[in-house]
């Protein structure tokens, strides 16, 4: 093992470079993981281009990446659940374990969460990463390391499906045919949804969705007229979607875009007593038709990452209920990480998930 740890570091807005950092040393309850595969998330690119997401602001150089899997290379004192050589998927957030949210099992809402590549905490795009052993999940031999890196976005989909309380026979509508939208749809199907419709503005993404987790796809082409109220447009769009595409009102609508118009339309596509789940990250303040939400008793629920999902995600892959490998459309070597980030930034046609491999 080298004495230095090559890391892919966001230095400042629009500037990323490789940097040699000190090798991490595992403390009690920790392991060192030789990172082998890392998926690029939109948040990684957003930090690169904007330097912040909401109130999380990069004030110092930060290693990027949080969708990772690798091989355990060393153990800290007291670790008995893993051994050197184990292939593991890393759940990138480590909570305090002591607060009220942690104690009731909703540790994703821990106010002291230490989440990889969320300021001020470094991420996983490096050769070796120190992590809590109990947030490293052993992968069966049937699951590759690049699939292991996909456990993180799949966890978002699983948590979203749980937040929507998807049940057997439910009709589901999903805005967004990117990786998160597709995996949310797949998780909803695995939870029992009988019919899933996915809508997007990208025809190529919808073409892929037809082969993956969608029973019906809808290409969104309409735009709001100048001066038209946004919620009036959303109501009109919902009515046209149902009339033109034969879509019924959904038990659960997932917005995986963050776009205000999609969030607004979600309200009008939900059944009375239905649920709208906000998975995507958009503008912090948005306009919604509260009158409709109240009069039709629609639940609007937020999603903050995930919790208690990795064992389920691994089981779903091992059992063949969900396929994540199909979503990996492009692969880059670690030395070409900047090219990989540029690829995602450019939103090239045909791209679903880009994974960086470290041999």
pLDDT in tens, 193-217: 999 999 999 999 999 999 999 999 9
Q: Which residue reads 């969608």 in tokens?
A: 214
Q: What is the pLDDT of residue 221?
A: 95
93 band by pLDDT with thresholds 50, 70 and 90 = very high
The whole-number average pLDDT for the span 74-86 is 98
Helices 42-50, 337-345: inter-axial angle, 10-degree rounding:
90
CATH number of 4-150+324-357: 3.90.180.10
> Which percentage of the chain shows pLDDT scores above 90?
96
Q: What is the pLDDT of residue 359?
A: 84
**Per-residue 3-state assignment (H helix, E strand, C coil) for the chain:** CCCEEEEEEEEECCEEEEEEEECCCCCCCEEEEEEEEEECCHHHHHHHHHCEECCEECCCCEECCCEEEEEEEEECCCCCCCCCCCEEEECCEECCCCCHHHHCCCHHHCCCCEECCECCECCCCECEEEEEHHHEEECCCCCCHHHHHCHHHHHHHHHHHHHCCCCCCCEEEEECCCHHHHHHHHHHHHCCCCEEEEEECCHHHHHHHHHCCCCEEEECCCCCCCCCCHHHHHHHHHHHHHHHHCCCCEEEEEECCCCHHHHHHHHHHEEEEEEEEECCCCCCCCCCCHHHHHHCCCEEEECCCCCCCHHHHHHHHHCCCCCCHHHEEEEEEHHHHHHHHHHHHCCCCCCCEEEEECC
Q: What is the pLDDT of residue 1?
A: 54
Q: What is the pLDDT of residue 4?
A: 86
Handedness of CA 220, 225, 231, 235 (dihedral sign): negative
Residue 110, burial from CB neighbour count under 10 angstroms (0-12, 13-18, 19+): buried
Antiparallel, parallel or unpaired: β 114-115 and 93-94: antiparallel
Token output for 248: 């019924």
d(CA 137, CA 148): 9
d(CA 352, CA 10): 23
Token output for 27: 């403390």
Q: Where are the domains of the chain?
A: 4-150+324-357, 156-302
pLDDT in tens, 212-250: 999 999 999 999 999 999 999 999 999 999 999 999 999
Domain 156-302 listed as CATH 3.40.50.720: yes
pLDDT in tens, 95-130: 999 999 999 999 999 999 999 999 999 999 999 999
pLDDT in tens, 270-306: 999 999 999 998 999 999 999 999 999 999 999 999 9
Asked if residue 54 has pLDDT above 90, the reply is no
């Amino acid at each position: 093992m080298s004495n230095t740890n090559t890391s892919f570091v966001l230095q400042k807005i629009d500037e990323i470079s490789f940097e040699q950092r000190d090798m991490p040393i595992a403390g009690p309850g920790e392991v060192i993981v030789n990172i082998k595969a890392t998926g690029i998330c939109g948040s990684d690119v957003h930090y690169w281009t904007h330097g912040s997401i909401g109130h999380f602001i990069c004030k110092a150089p930060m290693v990027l990446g949080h969708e990772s899997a690798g091989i355990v290379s060393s153990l800290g004192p007291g670790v008995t659940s893993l051994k050197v050589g184990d292939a593991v998927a890393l759940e990138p957030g480590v909570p305090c374990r002591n607060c009220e949210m942690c104690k009731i099992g909703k540790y994703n809402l821990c106010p002291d969460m230490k989440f990889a590549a969320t300021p001020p905490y470094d991420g996983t795009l490096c050769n070796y990463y120190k992590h809590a052993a109990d947030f490293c999940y052993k992968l069966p031999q049937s699951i590759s390391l690049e699939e292991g890196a996909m456990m993180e976005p799949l966890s978002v989909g699983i948590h979203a499906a749980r937040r929507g309380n998807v049940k057997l026979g439910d009709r589901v509508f999903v805005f967004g045919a990117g990786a998160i939208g597709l995996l949310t749809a797949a998780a909803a199907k695995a939870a029992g949804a009988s019919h899933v419709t996915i809508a997007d503005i990208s025809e190529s993404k919808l073409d892929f969705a037809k082969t993956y987790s969608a029973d019906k796809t809808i290409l969104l082409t309409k735009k709001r007229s100048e001066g038209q109220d946004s919620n009036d447009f959303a109501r009109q769009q919902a009515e046209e979607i149902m009339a033109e595409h034969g879509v019924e009102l959904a038990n659960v609508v997932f917005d995986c875009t963050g776009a205000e118009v999609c969030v607004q339309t979600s309200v009008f596509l939900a059944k009375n007593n239905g649920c709208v789940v906000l998975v995507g990250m958009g503008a912090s303040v948005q306009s919604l038709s509260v009158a409709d939400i109240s009069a039709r008793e629609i639940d609007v629920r937020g999603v903050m990452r995930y919790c208690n999902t990795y064992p389920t995600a691994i089981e779903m892959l091992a059992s063949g209920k969900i396929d994540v490998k199909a979503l990996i459309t492009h692969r880059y070597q670690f030395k070409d990480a900047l090219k990989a980030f540029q690829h995602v930034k450019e939103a090239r046609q045909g791209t679903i998930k880009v994974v960086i491999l470290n041999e």
